[in-house]
Amino acid sequence: MKKYSLPMGKGFEEVLLPEEKVIYNIDGNPAEICHDVAGAVLDAIRNPIGTKPLRDIVAPGETVAIVISDITRLCGTAEFLPIIIAELNDTGVKDEDITIVVATGTHRGHTEEENKIVCSEDIAARIRIIQHDSRNKNELVEIGVTSSGNIVAINKHVAEADRVIITGGVSLHPFAGFGGGRKAVMPGISAYDSIMHNHAMSMSPVEGGGCNKACDASLLEGNPVHKDMVEACKLLDPDFLLNTVYTPGGEISEIVAGHWYEAWEKGCNDLLAMAGVEIEQLADVVIASAGGFPKDMNLYQATKCHMNAQFAVKKGGIMIFTLDCPDIKEPAIFTDCFSRNDMEQFEKDIRANFTIPSFVAFKSRCIINDVTAYLVTRQENFDFVRRTGHIPCKSLTEAWELAQAKLEEQDKKDYTITIMGHASATLPILKNK
């Protein structure tokens, strides 16, 4: 027997497992950590991928819009934004000609305190910051139509700027393939209706078909959501991009900068090299953590764990999750959907009125309904957890005891186990799939 430890909240859950049954302990591939982020940012914007250096693109007197991610995204904006602005200033662009636009998508805008956290106190005090509002038609400008028929309207402060810089972080995304890059535009600064049109393509084109199989983590080719995002971004054609790439453990590995697609694409390839782990077989049991705080603050964010861990488990297998979830019922629009059991009606309702939280809830329930799912969490969460299709457990040891009983019931003596300590940021890739 061997002791294994998985993150949960700000602590860990431990369990004794038969070591010979553990076929994979997926924690990502070896990755370099960037120890001089400021230096890497400066080097990236002066030696970009696929375009001229930033200082050769902007000119004194031009207005510049910088699109940044909101506080819910891990991308290190406070580390790279001051350097971008210093470079603009050095080129002759004045502070008053720069506007920061927070790419909220459909999220709420920042408070003043959150602006200071995300942008740094100095930048928040110096530069005008606009909170994108996807529902405020007075702040939106139509810029064209994609091949899917999506009428793309975006934030007017970006559309009307002489130069546009988009920023963010490259990450695995459960239906766009990867986050970062073009997502700063769609959904980041797009109109609500444009966003819903785009995201609705994550459902199967066949009614009753559930989720679109072409829309999943790391999938870009043939992914209609990604294609529409790219077309929307191309309509704007941003002048420059800077994205961070994080290790599965949550540290900056590299900075990519330059052309809005080429530089981002390199980031995607590099992320997959770190986060994508090849496996030769699926396991009977997958034990997974989102990676602890803040990734398991609520179930909405923590289901990224489900989205990736599903690729490691056999159909009808067992999944055990360690998720603290102190705010398990936030946001309510997600949790209200997540506890629904009539999947046929659920799908019909989503198609009639698509929202992102309802889709995430639907996709998560589809995963849970295909397995036996145990959720290690706070005891005060148990009543709600039971309504979501999970079996609540107070400890990882208790969950493993229940899983063993289930394996015995299934007469599985030669069972296998895969462990994923950072499942939100790692992706099992089945060889020869």
Q: At residue 243, what is the residue type?
A: N
Q: Where are the alpha helices (DSSP H) in 5-76?
A: 37-46, 54-57
Q: Distance (Å, rounded) from C-alpha 271 to C-alpha 265? A: 10
Q: Distance (Å, rounded) from C-alpha 346 to C-alpha 352? A: 10
Rg (CA), the chain: 22
Find out whether 220 and 175 touch, Cβ atoms under 8 Å: no
Find out whether 118 and 67 touch, Cβ atoms under 8 Å: no
Grouping H, G, I as helix, E, B as strand and the rest as coil, residue 87 is helix
Selecting among 132, 173, 259, 422, the annotated active-site residue is 173
Q: In whole angstroms, how far apart are CA 107 and each of 18, 148, 325, 360?
A: 44, 24, 20, 15
- Pairing verdict, β 151-155 and 11-17: unpaired
**Both structure tokens of 10:** 């700000």
Find out whether 382 and 270 touch, Cβ atoms under 8 Å: no
Q: Distance (Å, rounded) from C-alpha 208 to C-alpha 191? A: 28
- Pairing verdict, β 163-173 and 177-179: antiparallel
Instruction: Count CA atoms within 13 Å of residue 217 on its CB side.
Output: 27
Active site residue 157: no
Q: Distance (Å, rounded) from C-alpha 209 to C-alpha 59? A: 51
Q: Which residues of 324-340 are buried (b: 16+ CB within 10 A; e: fewer)?
A: bbeebbeeeebbebbbb
Query: How many CB atoms neighbour CB 11 within 10 A?
Result: 12
163 forms bridges with which residues in the sheet? Answer: 64
Helix, strand, coil shares of the chain as percentages rounded to 5? 40, 25, 35
Query: How many CB atoms neighbour CB 277 within 10 A?
Result: 20
Among 289, 74, 34, CA closest to 171 = 74
Where are the strands (E) in 146-217, listed by range? 151-155, 163-173, 177-179
Cα dihedral sign, 383-385-388-391: negative
- Pairing verdict, β 283-289 and 276-279: unpaired
Active site residue 110: no
Selecting among 107, 197, 199, 226, the annotated active-site residue is 107
Just list the catalytic residues.
Answer: 107, 173
